[in-house]
Amino acid sequence: MHHVEYESDNITLLTAGEILNPFAVLEEVFQEWSSPVHLQDELFELFALAVRKNYWLTYDSPLIVYRKYKKLMRLFEAGWLIEKIRPDHALSEKLIIPYNQIETDTSTKGRKESVTGIDHISQAYKILINVYSGMPLQALRSDLFNLLFEGLMPTCVKYAVEFDAYVVESLKQMDSLIQALHIIDQHEQINTLSPKDIEILTKEKNEFNARQTLYDYHHDIYHLYEYSAKEDLTKALKIARGVVYKDGFWKLHGNPANMLYYFHDFLFVLESYWVCNQEIMAQETDINTKWKYPDDKKTAIYRIIRKRIKKPWKYLRRQFEKKTLSEWRNMLECCLEDVLSNQAVKVGKWSQYDEVLDFVAVLLVFNDILKYEPEI
């Protein structure tokens, strides 16, 4: 997730309804198993993928691995929300360490804390507080995604993840968090959300809805090619179109991590141009103004959508009126999952995927003609 700004924590995989009741997410994730062990095993599967070359080939498809990542991340996002409303006042009092018992010996830092005299639910909430206080949600997401990305064998980047002490400690934190959230899930099944809980979660939901874009980015439309060349993105679009029509593609082809990488670029393109459209509306720019730009760019757009675009900003406005950013984003995510699935998609999805990939392709051409925008 190379365009993402990591200074802010955002929910990305939960719906607005799930934000209002994160305990329901815990129930969904843990419902198949009576203990957290299976999910902890899936966490370490991602680690095994990252350190064993081409181990992803032992799975039926890269999609299976990708969904393991998403399931874990949904759990961690729910935990992040729960930490904002739990523990309640009575339980918080049990966790408070009196001033005269505060540890001042720095040589003990990093040692496992004694749990003597603390019941399981209290210890679970203590872990919850410690993990989210010490690791921002974006750090958890980045660390987990890096395991997935490295495990699917990328060739589109020149760096490699270093499996140092930090990664080991991060894994331990995530492992403890899974166990703690399982205990919390068992405990909270008999509880209901208080008015204060609902107020806090509603605030998070409203912020989620107001943000619109999935991530905060440190680049805009003028830096689309900061990490990937246009030629690489165009090639990835063509590969994606071909893959969705084929069964067993990943049985004979490698490096599915590249698709994760380039689809993140596609998402960045969509969301950046959505922000651009919002700015155009706020500035009351005349979208009916015709642009004069090179014929080869007009031809490039025509080859994609069989239309001549004389008013790029009007086209952009209509695209986001036809479908919301959320709808375009969901189409792109569904396309990515089918690209990774090793199964040919049904005919009914072809036009849907062509539509979103065509839109991205046109926006890539737009980036070449921004300098021709007329001054009004």
- What does DSSP assign to residue 53? T
Q: How far apart are CA 97 and CA 303, in angstroms?
A: 68
Q: What pLDDT, on the 0 to 100 scale, is given for residue 375?
A: 82
Report the alpha-carbon distance of residue 271 to residue 224 in Å, rounded: 11
pLDDT computed for residue 376 by the predictor: 66
- Buried b / exposed e over 292-314, threshold 16 CB at 10 Å, is ebeeebbebbeebeeeebeebbb
Buried b or exposed e, range 150-168, using 16+ CB within 10 angstroms:
bbbbbebeeeebeeeeebe
Q: Which stretch of 94-108, 220-234, 345-359 has the lowest confidence by average pLDDT?
A: 94-108
261 in Cβ contact with 268 (< 8 Å): no
Res 105: pLDDT: 61
On the question of pLDDT at 235 being above 60, the answer is yes
Other beta carbons within 10 Å of 175? 16
- % of the chain exceeding 70 in pLDDT: 90
For 284, the 3-state DSSP assignment is coil
Residues 260, 362: Cα–Cα separation, whole Å? 20
Residues above pLDDT 90, as percent of the chain: 73
pLDDT higher than 70, residue 102: no
Structure confidence at residue 211 (pLDDT):
87
**What integer pLDDT is reported at residue 114 of this predicted model?**
42
The pLDDT tens digits for 300-328 are 999 999 988 999 999 999 999 999 999 99
Residue 264 has pLDDT above 80, yes or no: yes
128, with CB counted inside 10 A (0-12, 13-18, 19+), is buried
Per-residue pLDDT, 32: 81
C-beta neighbour count of 22 within 10 angstroms: 29
Residue type, position 273, single letter: Y
Q: How confident is the model at residue 108 (pLDDT cuts 50, 70, 90)?
A: very low
Nearest to 140 by CA among 181, 101, 110: 181
Closest CA relative to residue 191, chosen from 81, 85, 340: 85
Average confidence score pLDDT of the chain = 90
Residue 266, judged by CB atoms within 10 A of its CB (0-12, 13-18, 19+), counts as buried
Predicted confidence band at 110 (pLDDT cuts at 50, 70, 90)?
A: very low
pLDDT at residue 3, as a whole number: 75
**Per-residue model confidence (pLDDT) at position 99:** 59
Residue 106 confidence (pLDDT) above 70? no
Check pLDDT > 70 for residue 109: no
Radius of gyration of the chain (CA): 23
Predicted local distance difference test score (pLDDT) of residue 361:
96
Place 116 in a pLDDT band, splitting at 50, 70 and 90. very low
Nearest to 138 by CA among 164, 170, 97, 115: 170
